[in-house]
């Protein structure tokens, strides 16, 4: 395996680790919300977490495009972030408009957990760097 392809593999591993951590965080919040406030709170937390996870998934697909030029890499990353934010905004708008029995606090907690936990994948990044 060449060095470039192994680095691309490590970036993909980091993104998959990030998505896995977000799923775990969302699942924990959904279970806690279900136990505390019932079905609608659990569903609201799930929708909040899923909005971030779907946005991060499509963003990471754009961010993984391989470029050797620093400016092109940066443009890809900014495009990925723009797609992520717009997707999250649209999904949240749909949820707030369509789901009438929404529990807003549960949705915010699910959203915050999924958004904040993505940074924890930095630890995985350091490990894969060392392994290579």
Partner 1 sequence: MDALAMIQAYTGIGIGLIIGLGAAGACIGIGIMCASFLEGAARQPEMIPQLQGKVFLLLGLIDASFIIGVGLAMMFAFANPLLSVVAK
The separation between CA 1 and the C-alpha centre of its own chain, rounded to angstroms, equals 29
Contacts of residue 58, Cβ cutoff 8 Å, sequence gap at least 6: 83, 84, 87
Give the C-alpha distances (Å, rounded to integers) separating 105 from 25, 38, 43, 45, 75: 16, 13, 12, 8, 35
Q: In this chain, which of 31, 35, 39, 78 binds partner 1, going by CB under 8 A?
A: 78
| 55 vs 81: CA distance, rounded Å | 9
Task: Provide the greatest CA pair distance for the chain.
Answer: 53
**Residues in binding contact with partner 1, number by CB under 8 A:** 48
46 binding partner 1? (CB under 8 A): no
Judged by CB under 8 A, does residue 94 bind partner 1?
no
* Sole window of 23-31, 33-41, 68-76 interacting with partner 1 (rule: CB under 8 A): 68-76
From the CB of 35, what's the least distance to partner 1, in Å? Answer: 22
Classify residue 38 as left (phi > 0), alpha (psi -120 to 50) or beta. left
Residue 35 binds partner 1, judged by CB under 8 A: no
Residues at the site binding partner 1, with contacts judged by CB under 8 A? 4, 7-8, 10-11, 14-15, 18, 48, 52, 56, 59-60, 63, 66-68, 70-71, 73-74, 77-78, 80-81, 84-85, 88-89, 92-93, 96-97, 102, 104-105, 107-108, 111-112, 115-116, 118-119, 121-122, 125, 129
């Amino acid at each position: 395996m060449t060095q470039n392809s192994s680095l691309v593999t490590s970036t993909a591993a980091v993104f998959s680790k990030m998505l896995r951590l977000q799923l775990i965080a969302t699942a924990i919040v959904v279970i806690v919300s279900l136990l505390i406030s019932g079905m609608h709170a659990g569903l609201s937390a799930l929708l909040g977490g899923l909005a971030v996870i779907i946005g991060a998934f499509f963003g990471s697909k754009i961010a993984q495009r391989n470029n050797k030029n620093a400016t092109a890499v940066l443009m890809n990353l900014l495009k990925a972030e723009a797609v992520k934010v717009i997707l999250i905004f649209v999904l949240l708008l749909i949820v707030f408009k369509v789901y009438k029995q929404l529990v807003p606090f549960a949705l915010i907690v699910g959203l915050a957990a999924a958004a904040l936990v993505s940074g924890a994948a930095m630890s995985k990044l350091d490990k894969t760097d060392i392994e290579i």
